[in-house]
Amino acid sequence: MSRLGEKYFELGRGYENFSENYSRPYLLGVNINNKEKPFVIAMGNHHSDMGATKLSVDELVSGKWDEHIRFSNSEKFVESLKKALKNNEEFPQKFILELIK
């Protein structure tokens, strides 16, 4: 598992063909030490611009970020997270800890 900066582990990465010469990156990462807003989503844009937002567990699984999740190739991760939440597992869920080993 690769690192995103000092605090985050990359969970998923993907690209959207934005133009002939540019593919926009989409990232999903997690900071297991931040229980309030452990997830970060990031997206690139032309001219090396990058935007990032921190999300809570509930925000990530709310459906609002489904397109970003799809573009970052993280659908399986989010489905696993939803199952863990349904089983009342506390954050960080065991499967997340196994992913970032």
Report which of 38, 39, 99 is spatially closest to residue 65, judged by C-alpha positions.
39
Each residue's pLDDT tens digit, 3-44: 888 999 999 999 998 888 888 899 999 999 999 999 999 998
Q: What was the pLDDT predicted at 47? A: 65
Which residue do the tokens 């921190």 mark?
54
The tokens for 36 are: 């309030």
Q: Is the pTM of this model over 0.85?
A: yes
Each residue's pLDDT tens digit, 53-81: 999 999 999 999 999 999 999 999 999 99
| Percent with pLDDT over 70 in the chain | 95
More confident residue, 73 or 2: 73
Contact assessment for residue 28 and residue 10, using Cβ atoms and an 8 Å cutoff: yes
DSSP-derived letter for residue 1 is -
* Pairing between β-strand 49-55 and β-strand 39-45 as defined by DSSP bridges: antiparallel
